[in-house]
Every structure is written in structure tokens, then in C-alpha cells.
Structure 1
């Protein structure tokens, strides 16, 4: 386990052991889930499916952060300093932050090659008019058994893709707060992958203007064990494993969602965050 994560985990801020909050799940599969994602700045996503809010207990993960593992829980919290000054500057993100994320993924996973292929800046403050996206308030996972390998084929030359697909690979998201103040609004809740049953992952078409992708939406299961890291700062990052090709008992998928923290201030600062999507390939 990287020393940076161990050292940082010991500096947890004193907060409640847990909170209760509603999160948006699929109640069942009576309606096939589909999400229509318009181009940024043109509107909000539209969803089909039998979604409902379920109140869950979300545990403060900071006291437990030393014990979390990408291969068990499918998420970890780590210290991650950055030299980026403005995360809204596309050139700065690509030229400075992408190399930082690549080094982080290699450090945390031991991957021999990392491919960064996508990033999304989200804000709860006038997102649509600013051409950005809002925090996602549904329980989901970014890749499926089918769409993980397909995305590799989309990104790499055909010969390299097939060679890489023959070995182990995984998709990791790196999520961080990009404001200079700690997160107060819509923190990220994460489900311990050890509490997810196969039936809890429902395939959902993700329809864009130019392509159709596929994600998992979470089906409600009272056994899900939720965690979050309250008051995240700009010097922290969460790694989330959304796909793993290995079928040896380690976590392969995860579930996560933004939620309204009842312990937040009455007038919280709008959340600002970035997530970077990466593939890690292992020799």
C-alpha cells in the first residue's frame, strides 16, 4: 500500500461516524433503463427506468481509509498534490494533470501502461450554461462487461488492442475536488464492492448524439455498504475501479453516486470536481 495514502489517512477530520441520506437507485427492471446524454451545455440528461430514492446509511470512510483496497472495495482515498492552477483550462488539464494522473495510477496499481482517454469537469453552479456537467445523482458504474473491452478497441490500434485484451487490464476513475475550499455539496458516495451482488448491476444504454455506450445502473439492495470521505480537499483524490478483466475473486465493478449530505452547511458551496478516466494495462 503506498506510503502517501497511509500517511494521509491518519489526518482525518473529526466528523460523524455516519449519515443517512437518500440515493437514487433502480427499484426494479420493469422498465429497461436508458439514459440520453445531450452535448455539454445543451441540457440535462434524460433517463428512462423505474428509479426511486432509497435512504441508506453512508459511513464516514476516513477512519477506515488505511484498510480500503482497489481489489476489495474497488476504491481508495489517497493524497495527491497537483500543480494545476485552473482545472477549467483544458490545455492545463491535458498538459499538467494528465501526466500527474498517469503517475498516480502507476503508483497505486503497478500498471505497466496507463492510457488516459476522457475527463469531465462537473459543477453544481450553472453547469449547463457554462458548458459543463452536473454531479451524477444516480447509483451507477461507468463500464460493463461488454463496454470495458469495447472502449479499449475504440482507443487503441487494432493489433495492440487485441494484444492488451489478452492480458489483464482495468479501468480506473480518478475523482477530485477542484475548488480551493473543502467539498460541502454533493459529495461522492461509494459502495463497497464486496457488498454488491451480480443482480445489482443492470445494463443501461447511454445514448449520445454520435454513439451509444453502456453502463451499469445500480438496482437497490439493502445489503450495500456505503462510504464517503467528508470535506474532501483539493489535495486528495479518490480512485474508483469501474472495470477489471481479472476473474480471480478481486473486485471487478463498483457503484457510486453523488448525494446530499445532511451534515453539510445549510447553504453549502456548490461542488466543483473533475474525474479522469483511465485504462491500466498489466504485464
Structure 2
């Protein structure tokens, strides 16, 4: 296993940690005002132990022939390919796609570019309230005679070429106490529930999977209503200092999943 690298990531700025109000981040200027940069050590995740319910992430293989510029093929083929793999990784009784996003490499576009700060895409304060409101919005039908717990995940797969620049860095959930995680509002897409961002503290562990290939899928947790499991996996894109200066921009597809677990 290779030695750790030093990378720069952005945490929530101290004035917002524990504040009665949460910051709003919807463009690069707001992000710069609400976050602060730190240098951290990032481990190579290959060859280490990890899991969705412990560290909050996992890596698995998946070959696909989908043309990711064809939205209809993504919906008709790619989702169907991934659904049984997501079910196998999580042990869920039911899995549902909520939405997806293909990033073609535009770092200047705040919404379509690469995440510039550590975050989770769901707030942690009211996991059941958030989940049930989203079930209603998405018109998801579950067996009314059964009770469920829920968890939300991302799958993230490189498109067209290996990842050399702007890979994802993941915070090991076992190293991030719940009190280190705060709320913020992601406002670039209008009215949106609060999301999560961490305060800086010593002891956080960072992991990435260098040079991910197009047949690899990184899966990480966004929110879990079940106790005694990783509640989320905070993450960010980062500039890999070991990548060549002319490394091409990362291209990737991310799919958001809601998983239901019968009690």
C-alpha cells in the first residue's frame, strides 16, 4: 500500500459550528465565506478494511456498456444493472433510485462541477422526518403491513476514463463524532432541506481510492435511520497532488438511492 498523501480540504468555518443559524452555500463566494481550508493526510483505501455500516463506504466492481450521454439508457439500463448490486451491498429489502447526476468536468460551474468542501447530502437531525417527507414527494410505495428502517446512499462511478484529478476523499465515519457534524443549507438548487458539514478537529481519518477505473463503483452512505451504524459518510472532491499537471478532468456518474429494511 502506498504512503498517505497530503491534500487540502475545506471544513465548516468555526463561527458556524454550534451556531443557532446554519450557513447557506450556493456559489463559490458563499462557500469560501462559510468554510476554511485545512491540510490533511489522506490514506490509500486499497488494501484497507472498510464497510458501509462502519467507515460509511465500500468499493465494488461493475462493468457496463451504457452510454452515459444517453439519459434514456441510464434510466432503462444502468439503474437496473446497479439495483441488485446495491441490494446485495446493503441487505435492503427494497431499493429505489431518487435521482442521478453525470459530471463531465466543469470546475467553474458550482452545481455541475466538483464539490469543493466536506459535506453530506442529508441532514442528520431528523432522519425519519426527512425520509418520510421524501417518500411522499417521490410517491414511493411500500408494503403498508410492514415497518421499515431506511438508509440513503450514493453510488459513484468514473465515466469514459480513469480518475486522475478531482477524485473523492472520504471521512472514515468511525473517526467523526456526531457532535462534529453540523447543518448548512445548499441553496444553489432552491428550497432544500438542510445538509451536513463537519467542523475541523484532530483525529479525523481520510481515505481515497487512487486512479479509480471505469469498472469500479464507490458506494457511500448519506443518511441512516438505524442506530449503531455509520450515520453518514462526509466527502469532498480534492486536488490530487500526485496527479500529472495535465491530468484530464474527472468524469463520473452518481446515483442516489433510498433503501428500505423491513424490521
TM-score by length of 1: 0.82
Matched residue, 1:7: none
**How well do the aligned residues superpose, as a CA RMSD in angstroms?**
2.6
Find 1:255's aligned residue among 234, 243, 247.
Answer: 234
Q: CA deviation at 1:53?
A: 0.8
Judging changes above 3 Å, is the alpha-carbon distance between structure 1 residues 125 and 34 closer, same or farther for their aligned structure 2 residues? closer
Alpha-carbon contact 2:170-2:236 (below 8 Å) kept: yes
1:54 paired residue among 38, 54, 58: 38
Q: Distance in 2 between matches of 1:225 and 1:126?
A: 26
Contact 1:18 1:57 in 2 (8 A): yes
- Partner of 2:78, secondary structure, is helix
Residues 33 and 47, structure 1, Cα contact 8 Å, conserved in 2: no
Q: CA deviation at 1:120?
A: 1.1
- Secondary structure at the aligned position of 2:14 is classed as coil
Partner residue, 2:96: 115
In the alignment, the residues of structure 2 paired with residue 210 and residue 125 of structure 1 have an alpha-carbon distance, to the nearest angstrom, of 21
Pair 1:159–1:123, CA change in 2 (3 A): closer
Mind listing any 5+ residue stretches in structure 2 that lack a counterpart? none
| 1:142 CA drift (Å) | 0.8
Counting matched residue pairs gives: 256
Please tell me whether the aligned partners of residues 33 and 48 of structure 1 are also in contact (alpha carbons under 8 angstroms): no
Give the gaps of 5 or more residues in structure 1.
1-14, 38-43
TM-score, normalised relative to structure 2: 0.88
The structure 2 residue matched to 1:83, chosen from 45, 65, 72, is 65
Does residue 28 in structure 1 map to residue 14 in structure 2? yes
2:150 is the alignment partner of 1:169: yes
**In structure 1, distance between residues paired with 2:145 and 2:57:** 23
Structure 1 residues 275 and 45: CA distance shift in structure 2, 3 A: farther
Q: Give me the whole-angstrom Cα distance separating, in 1, the residues matched to 2:143 and 2:38.
A: 41
Q: How does 1:54-73 map to 2 (within 5 A)?
A: 54-64=38-48, 67-73=49-55
Q: Is residue 229 of structure 1 aligned with residue 229 of structure 2?
A: no
